[in-house]
Chains A and B, each alone.
Chain A
Amino acid sequence: MKIDMSHGSGGKQTSNLINDIFLKNFDNEILNKLEDAAVLDDIKGKIAYTTDSFVVTPLFFNGGNIGSIAVCGTVNDLSMMGAIPKYLTAGFIIEEGADIETIDEIARTMGLIAKEANVKIVAGDTKVIEGKGGIYINTSGIGEIAQNGVSISNCQKGDVIILSGNLGDHHAAIMSKRMEIENNIMSDCAPLTSIVNNLIENNINIHCMRDITRGGLATVLNEVASNSLCGVEIYEELLPISNEVRGFCNILGLDPLYMANEGKMIAVVPQNKADIALEAVRKSKYGKNAQIIGKIVNGKSVNMITALKGNRIIDILYGEGLPRIC
């Protein structure tokens, strides 16, 4: 069955959509009240608060769909501040012509991941507009700060940088579908809550965390350098990249340093906690390929020691990372 303008009119069709799709998949006692706003339990301490919008195409890809990213993206942004994610909202803008079954599947995925991340989707909205079946999602989220002081400006000379796993998987999964290249690369879309919880539980004094999304690791490391007023040194041989993603990048002339992930992060921690922190990340769900990839140094730029032991300055991404032949 297709969505049409009546599903956005606020009448019976809208109510059916909300009940049959969103309440069914998001099911929690706050949302089920269907009030004009969600009333939340007391939150202890400081609140972290964020929002993000999701417009990816194709809607479905190897390893996930737009719904997976919509939940993971916001959950991870909260986690990166040392917060425990608690509540999400989800707003949908749906173009007429979209399949109800598609929306159901997207909502089902969102419900499952929210459950895994221990968050409740407590408020939402749906609008229907003219178009050709596109679906766009906004999520916002609230979390409780569990560790203070985690900040992009807080990195200190001598700190080590832990990367939680393989680079480039999400970007490669999406592009593989678009460019009709067959492989088993799956999007790594995942909530990072388990990694962050393990770090906190092991009393790691985390200076900074950042998830690696658009612009890739290179962009994140440059943000560290410019906000913490430091240099960054990483080692090419230590970067975890799967063979398949390497091959894929070679075909299209892409660079894994600039490719998006949806379930990877860096944690910048003091040198004396490096080993415990690495162990904690490796023991977590989604962290088994974690590596220490470098450290914070004096200076202003991001420098990589290449496999041949040369120096390469890594700048931020300019423009869109398009496939090349030249």
Chain B
Amino acid sequence: MCVAVPGKIIEINGDMAKVDIMNNICEVNIKLVSAKIGDYVLIHAGCVLEVLKKDMAEEILSIFSELEEI
């Protein structure tokens, strides 16, 4: 129920930031997180919900390392 998308912070102005989502630039609210320029973040309805540990593409590559054999 939650369409959220990863993006990169390119500018911060107080509680607002500009994020780059595959070359789409949006203004989002960052009051719910502590973020800095260069961070990869998760964006939902104009707001950053969380700072991601990694770029999502990189994370997908490593996701299977979390698994044990059946």
Contact = CB atoms under 8 A, between A and B. Distances in A.
Interface of A: 176, 181-184, 243-244, 246-248, 250-253, 324-326
B1 A247 contact: no
Interface stretch (B17-25, B30-38, B61-69): B17-25
A243 B23 contact: yes
Contacts of A244: 22-24
Interface in B24-70: 24-26, 43-45
A248 B45 CA distance: 13
Contacts of A183: 23-25
Contacts of A250: 5, 21-22
Contacts of A176: 24
B26 A181 contact: yes
B22 A246 contact: yes
Nearest to A243: B22
Given A247-B23, A250-B22, 15 more contacts: A181-B24, A181-B25, A181-B26, A183-B25, A243-B22, A244-B22, A244-B23, A246-B22, A247-B5, A247-B21, A250-B5, A251-B5, A251-B43, A253-B3, A325-B2
A197 to B, nearest CB: 33
Give the size category of B's interface with A: 10 to 19
B26 to A, nearest CB: 6
A184 B24 CA distance: 8
Contact of A325 (B3, B22, B23): B3
Contacts, number: 44
A182 B3 contact: no
Given A182-B26, A251-B5, A253-B3, A325 B21 contact: no
Contacts of B2: 325-326
A326 B22 CA distance: 21
Contact of B23 (A184, A252, A324, A326): A184
B23 A251 contact: no
A182 B25 contact: yes
A176 B43 CA distance: 17
A247 B22 contact: yes
A299 B45 CA distance: 41
Q: Which 8 A-B pairs have the closest CB atoms?
A: A247-B22, A253-B3, A182-B25, A250-B5, A183-B24, A326-B1, A247-B21, A244-B23
Output the residue of B1, B24, B44 with the most chain A CB within 10 A.
Answer: B24
Contacts of B3: 252-253, 324-326
Contacts of B24: 176, 181-183, 244, 247-248, 251
A222 to B, nearest CB: 25
A27 B46 CA distance: 48
A1 to B, nearest CB: 36
29 contacts: A176-B24, A181-B24, A181-B25, A181-B26, A182-B25, A183-B24, A183-B25, A243-B22, A243-B23, A244-B22, A244-B23, A244-B24, A246-B22, A247-B5, A247-B21, A247-B23, A248-B21, A248-B22, A248-B24, A250-B5, A250-B21, A250-B22, A251-B5, A251-B24, A252-B3, A253-B3, A324-B3, A325-B2, A326-B1
B25 to A, nearest CB: 4
A83 to B, nearest CB: 38
